[in-house]
Structure 1
Amino acid sequence: MDWDPQKYVEFSDYRNVPFFDLTARITGPEPRLVVDLGCGPGNLTATLARRWPGAHVIGLDSSGEMVRQARRARGEPNLEFIEGDIAGWTPPRGLDVLISNAALHWVPGHLAMMRRWLQQLQPGAWLAVQVPDNFDAPSHALMRALADSPRWSARLAGVLRHDNTVGSVLDYLRLLLEEGCEAQAWTTIYEHVLHDQDPVLEWVRGAGLRPVLAALAAEEAREFEAEFARLLRQAYPATPYGTVYSFRRIFAVGCKKGPA
């Protein structure tokens, strides 16, 4: 699946806020090694390098185009970007802070993977994760319903994941506690006021719609988007103030107990 860094950051004013809400909960001594899994175009990873100038900060992403964009805009001397698959990643020795913001929902079985990471992390290390929890929102439910319709089901069968894409907020909290962390977990609903034509379609083009676009030829993708846009206009009517798009997210942060 191809990613478009420019499209992804189109709503960066809104997409960036959960990252800072997540990382604000990380406290304690200055880290020496920090990893950001699913770093995307790297603009948020760069803020970690500025926050912790004495740390080696690594951003990892499976998209070569995202990593190339991140490297072009790197800026900070303590910052490195590498291309790699989260599913095959193992925490390096000496890792102090592990962050994954809006990435793990793309990885099947990520709760079991997180458990392995926690078992490998040293005492005093932090794990901070944020995943979207809006898969039952109209934007995603309508996308799945359209993909399952007679016109598209043969082309899009199995393309969109839904069941077990993410756990509940309690699943993440229990996991952190069971693996010996001081932990906190919470949900936040962000009410985004979007503008311009078909803004919810433009939002999901940056992430959730990518598997559909990757599976269809260009003309088919335009046809699917036109039909999807009509459904979204009904579900998210424009107001004089803009289009309100509710987005629920899950956060989980833990620090592994024991002497650092």
Structure 2
Amino acid sequence: MSRQPPEQQAPPVQRLRVRYAKRGRLRFTSHRDFSRAFERAVFRAQVPMAYSSGFNPHPRISYAGAAPTGSASEAEYLEIALAQVVDAAEIHALLDESLPEGLDVLEVVDAADLEKGGLADRLVASRWLIDTGAEETRAQSAVAAFLAAESVTVERMTKKGLREFDCRAAVVSLAVAEAGAAPGRLRLDLVLRHGVPSVRPDDVLTGIRSLSDLDLGGPPLLTRVEQGPLDEATGAVGDPLAR
């Protein structure tokens, strides 16, 4: 008995790019948990999704540059493909209403209105704010030692086992911020270039501590505030959804 070939789905007619935030306790949401929550939100909001072809069709959602579990973020991005042309502002409202508080949709734009190129190609670097309990004088000294080093080797457990890599090369800029942290806390302002292997803010903290006796005063709070193209001249991170 021959098996019928899978139904072929029509190609998408519109693509929307979404910026969302992970806030509060929802920063502990893993990427897998978020993707499940987002797919449920799309279903509840009755977004006219385009689906993949094959025996197990799934909604066409492309995720890019997800922050590590435990990190807060104001600059997470994804792209959805649609079977009908819709108003981006309407989808923004529907998705934000359907997601739990702490997973907040910040912006939805039509990809056709943006520069050509994939979303992932626009996510070149990230800016992070790291709130710690470190003492300012020691932090300034530790940051200076890190920036003066040509390379700083760290280790991290990955899916392929323990991996060793240089965390210094990915750092575009690192400084003790002048303001913004809560009372009794000290904030580091970090810009990281994306690459392979991916260097995370906690890798940089590990590298800093390998060169100094800096006491972070407990677990740091990591918040990604920007993600996008990198201006090599200024070190600034741009908006990947800029028109």
TM over 0.5: no
- Bigger CA radius of gyration: 2
Question: What TM-score comes out, normalization by structure 2 length?
Answer: 0.28
Between structures 1 and 2, the one with greater strand share: 2
Question: What TM-score comes out, normalization by structure 1 length?
Answer: 0.27
